[in-house]
Structures are given as C-alpha cells and as structure tokens.
Structure 1
C-alpha cells in the first residue's frame, strides 16, 4: 500500500462517519486538521482542484496552498474540511465507491431543487443537508 493511501485511510478512519455537532466539535478541539486532511479530500474523490476550492470558498491557488505541510488553517476552514471529509466517508459507506458517490454528487436531483448535491457543498448548512440526504438513503428514501 502506498504511503499516501495509508495516510488517507488513517485520516478517514478518525473522521466522524456522520455529521454530528458534538462529534465535530470534539474533533475540532482535540485533533489537528491540516494539509493531510485537505489532501485526503482530493485523493478520496475524483473531483479536481477547481471543484474542491469552490466547496471551500477559496481560489484554486489558495486551495493548492492548503495542500502544503506548512499551512495553518483558520477555524472555519478546519470545520469545513472536517465536514467534507465526514460527508465523503458517509458517502463512501452508502455508495461503496468514490465513483458512485461522485456520480450522485454531480447528478441533478429533485430533492435538491433539480440541482446537483455538489452545488450545496460550499456552506456548512449545505454539507449537513447533503449528509442528511445520505442518511435518508440508508433508511430507504429514494434520494
């Protein structure tokens, strides 16, 4: 197994598997969220830097800086990175593969006002809403 895959697996293992405010706050205050977490988003999905930078509301240049070890994040960026990783972990569990998750995230969906779930990932509330839809799918809703 490549070293980067081991790091990604360790990071994704530690991230909450569902977005829960208590778990997220505990993680934010007890763990360091850093460049490895940003790199994990990139390697666990098939999305490019442009899409992920849009999720984080930063330029592509800034996003690429986030992937460097010396970078220190503001608290709001840490939270958004953590929520995205938690959503990705949840989505991988629901769909079984990054490809299937990416496809669902990119498809227009009537429950998202005929927009793709991907369009909602640039806000904390949007990430939580998409995660709620994943939970609904786990319990039989046709999302």
Structure 2
C-alpha cells in the first residue's frame, strides 16, 4: 500500500464507514483492491490466502494498529529481519497471509463496533478485564486469540459484559 493511501485511511476514515459489507471493509483496511484484489466472499479470502499478500500490507497494518514492525513480526511469527529483507511486492506465506487477513477483520469489526479507528486503536492497546487484564493486541498472534477478541467485540456491540 502506498504511504499516501494509508495516511488517507487514517485521516479520513469516513470512506471506511460507508462500506456495506465486511469484505469491502477488509479490503479497505488492507489498502484497497490494488493491493489485494476484490473480495466478495470467503472463497475469495481462501484464494488470496493461498496466493499470498504483499509484504507492504504488513507495514500498513502495523501503521493502522500503531505498533512497531518488531511487534507486528511477533504477531505473524516471522522474524523482523525476514520482513526487512523482503521487497514490498514479495508475497507472504499462506500462514502469514491468513494471520494478516484475520487481523484486518478484527480491525474492521473493531471500527464498526467502537465507531472510529482512534477509539479502536486506544481500545486494542488498553488492558481489558475480560482478557485477564491483558491488551487485545497481545491476543492477535493466534487464531484462538483473534476469535476471543472478535467475541469480545460482539459482546461490546450487544452490551454484554
């Protein structure tokens, strides 16, 4: 994703809020269709996972979450040095791509539930009692942790403590 596109997303998220479905929101979080192609179903997510996402998406997601590339590499279980060696257009592995797509879905859902990117970012870095007083960001490194965070967002949406 171009640096300008991420800055536009961070400064003017209104474009995100007008998107109709989760697939459009995920594409928006990942930098638009020029980065990932079009996603209209879970089948498309599977195809993208098998093909791989470009490394530039990792930088975009770390910027959106407000975390270092070191922390981002920990979430993806890739060494920071490995990410640094790759060119922006090189593709990630199936596992890393799937992890990025799951994280993008959490971001999308978080903005939808909490209202703004800023509110979501603050929330994801805050210790949460329901997560054993740990930060949601610390659970984004496994599928089970991501599911816990999505479940928590669902509980927040429905007013269930």
Alignment of 1:91-110 (within 5 A): 91-110=110-129
CA displacement, residues 47-67 of structure 1 (integer Å, 9 cap, x when unaligned): 221221111112222233467
* TM-score computed with the length of structure 1 as normaliser: 0.74
Checking the alignment, whether the CA contact within 8 Å between 1:108 and 1:114 is kept in structure 2 is yes
TM-score by length of 2: 0.67
The structure-2 alpha-carbon separation of the partners of 1:138 and 1:37, relative to structure 1 and needing over 3 Å to count, comes to same
Runs of 4+ in 1 over 6 A off after TM superposition: 6-10
Structure with the bigger RCO (C-alpha within 8 Å, sep 6+) is: 1
User: Counterparts of 2:154 and 2:70 in 1: how far apart (Å)?
Assistant: 27
- 2:156 paired residue among 128, 133, 137: 137
Partner of 1:15: 26
Is 2:46 aligned against 1:28? yes
How do 1:65-104 and structure 2 match up within 5 A? Answer: 65=85, 68-69=88-89, 71-104=90-123
CA contact (8 A) 1:46 1:99 kept: no
Contact 1:16 1:86 in 2 (8 A): no
Where structure 2 has 5 or more consecutive residues not aligned to the other structure, the ranges are 10-15, 29-40
Partner of residue 49, structure 1: 69
In structure 2, the CA distance between the partners of 1:135 and 1:6, relative to structure 1 (3 Å rule), is: same
**CA distances 1:89-131 after superposition (whole Å, capped 9, x unpaired):** 1111222333321221122222111211122111111111111
Q: Which residue of 1 aligns with 2:147?
A: 128
- Between the aligned partners of 1:27 and 1:105, the Cα distance in structure 2 is 24
How many equivalent residue pairs?
A: 134
Match of 2:81 in 1: 61
Query: Structure 1: 5+ residue runs without aligned partners?
Result: 18-22
| RMSD of equivalent CA atoms | 3.1
Rounded to whole Å, the distance in 2 between the matches of 1:15 and 1:101 is: 15
